[in-house]
Amino acid sequence: MVKKFYDKDCDFSQLDGKTISIIGYGSQGHAHALNLKDSGASVITGLRKGSANWPKAESAGLRVMEVEDAAEAGDIVMMLVPDEYGARVYNSQVAGHMKEGDVLMFAHGFNIHYNQIEPASCLDVVMVAPKGPGHTVRSQYLEGKGVPSLLAVHQDRSGKAREYGLAYAAGIGAGRAGILETTFKEETETDLFGEQAVLCGGVTELMKAGFETLVEAGYEPEMAYFECVHEMKLIIDLVNSGGFEMMRHSVSNTAEYGDYVSGRKVIGKCAREAMKQILSDIQDGTFASEFIQEFGAGGQARFSASRRKEASHQLATVGSELRKMMSWLK
Ligand code: NAD
Ligand code: MG
């Protein structure tokens, strides 16, 4: 069983006298910086000069510095820039300012696990990864609650790396919900697998295949969109709050029976074999090197082409018209 920690297991005083520099002020960055500040920690936000986020962070009451200065001033440096820029930012603007005993933190293991960042051995290297988007990390904190987070230690120079991670996690509110201990390897590989095989890749292709099957059979695209795309949320909300059980309890017996007999035909042997292959490409680094190549020398050509192709699919155009009919959607 995974180890779980709560506020009572976290010693927030581990952060006394320490300055925490948060690099980046996006989804996670703004939430970590503001929650830690409200928890009483000394926080600096590190940004590029001229960043549109600079005045935003300042008007939220944060001290803002350029990335290099923030890294220099920080005893704990949390990297919250997009993962594809993480290595560039760390190697050119942060690494040179990290001193013996400093703690380097991440909210995702990719750059450490795939050796894109190789921190000096005199540092602690820790992950605190909320299992939710930044705006939820912030809004839950303001409500006196928190978002469950993962904790992992990659390098423990001080012998206190885990203590620092727990204190930081408590500072962003995670100790109110629960902190689960994992490793950089496990977090990175399961995160990539989940988003590719199930959450992003799996689900969108499943919806698209259902949509195309109905449209090719002569049904109206609007009907196909409602049935195979729009209603996904209704079902997932039920799964999210009460598991498969609650979802199956809420739908009709016809739907529940169809679920049992047809689901395993769609996700059969072939889909399961594909999942194993996807996992193996993640484990042996094949996916990571492809991704790094695409966002480096590849100039994002394949990435941009996929974006364009998906945006011009009939599913996208029909969906955008139908959503206009639903005033409650933003
Ligand atoms: P984001 O894209 O929302 O924000 C990134 C921030 O970095 C922005 O403020 C941007 O201006 C800044 N930035 C970009 N390039 C920079 C540079 N060269 N120098 C300095 N700042 C730069 O990213 P995010 O979603 O907050 O992700 C940050 C980290 O958190 C990633 O490691 C991600 O995997 C992890 N994470 C994200 C989520 C999520 O739901 N968004 C959840 C858990 C973990
Ligand atoms: Mg420093």
Could you give phi then psi for residue 326, rounded to 5 degrees? Answer: -110, 95
Instruction: Tell whether the torsion through CA atoms of 75, 76, 78 and 79 is positive or negative.
Output: positive
Q: State the ligand closest to the CA atom of 187.
A: 1
- For the cut 80, the answer to whether the pLDDT of residue 83 exceeds it is yes
CA distance 134 to 130: 8
The residues that bridge with 179 in the sheet, in sequence order, are 5, 149
Phi/psi of residue 191, each to 5°?
-65, -50
* Options 32, 108, 113, 154, the catalytic residue: 108
Place 163 in a pLDDT band, splitting at 50, 70 and 90: very high
Q: Which SS3 state, helix, strand or coil, does residue 168 take?
A: helix
The answer to whether the CB of 310 falls within 8 A of the CB of 316 is yes
For ligand 1, atom 1, the nearest C-alpha belongs to 26
Structural tokens at position 25 = 């002020």
The atom of ligand 1 lying closest to the CA of 29 is 26
Nearest to 123 by CA among 161, 165, 85, 166: 161
Summarize pLDDT for 61-74 with one digit per residue, the tens.
999 999 999 999 99
pLDDT of residue 36: 98
2 CA to middle of ligand 2, Å? 32
CA of 327 to the centre of ligand 1 (A): 31
70 Cα to the center of ligand 2, angstroms: 8
pLDDT at 1 over 90: no
Q: In angstroms, rounded to a whole number, what is the distance separating the alpha carbons of residues 271 and 132?
A: 27
Residue nearest to atom 44 of ligand 1 (CA): 107
For residue 151, pLDDT over 80 is answered with: yes
DSSP 134: H
Say what the pTM is.
0.93
The pLDDT of residue 171: 98
Nearest CA to ligand 1 atom 35: 107
Question: What contacts 205, CB < 8 A, 6 or more positions away?
Answer: none
Quick one: pLDDT at residue 298?
86
Cα gap 162→10, rounded to integer Å:
10
Starting from the CA of residue 44, give the closest ligand: 2
pLDDT tens readout for residues 166-192: 999 999 999 999 999 999 999 999 999
Q: Write the pLDDT tens digit of every residue in 199-248.
A: 999 999 999 999 999 999 999 999 999 999 999 999 999 999 999 999 99
pLDDT in tens, 308-320: 999 999 999 999 9
Q: What percent of the chain has a predicted confidence (pLDDT) above 90? A: 97
Residue 7: how many CB atoms within 10 A of its CB? 17
Looking at residue 330, what is its pLDDT?
77
Mapped to the 3 state alphabet, what secondary structure does 239-307 carry? HHHHHHHHHHHHCCHHHHHHHHHHHHHHCCHHHHHHHHHHHHHHHCCHHHHHHHHHHCCCCCHHHHHHH
Closest ligand (CA of 32):
1
Ligand 1 atom closest to 106 (CA): 32
pLDDT over 90 at 80, yes or no: yes
How far apart are the CA of 200 and the centre of ligand 2, in A?
37
- Whose Cα sits closest to atom 28 in ligand 1? 80
Report the residue count for the chain.
Answer: 330
Catalytic annotation present for 230: no
20-39 pLDDT, tens digit each: 999 999 999 999 999 999 99
CA dist., res. 127 & res. 107, Å (int): 6
Question: Are 141 and 38 a contacting pair, CB within 8 Å?
Answer: yes
- The rounded distance, in Å, linking the Cα atoms of 222 and 245 is 30
Q: Is the CB of 67 under 6 A from ligand 1?
A: yes
| Probe target for ligand 1 pocket from 25, 80, 92, with the most ligand atoms within 8 Å of CB | 80
- What share of the chain in percent tops pLDDT 70? 100
Q: Which residues neighbour 305 within 8 Å (Cβ) at sequence distance 6 or greater?
A: none
- Mean of all residue pLDDT scores within the chain: 97
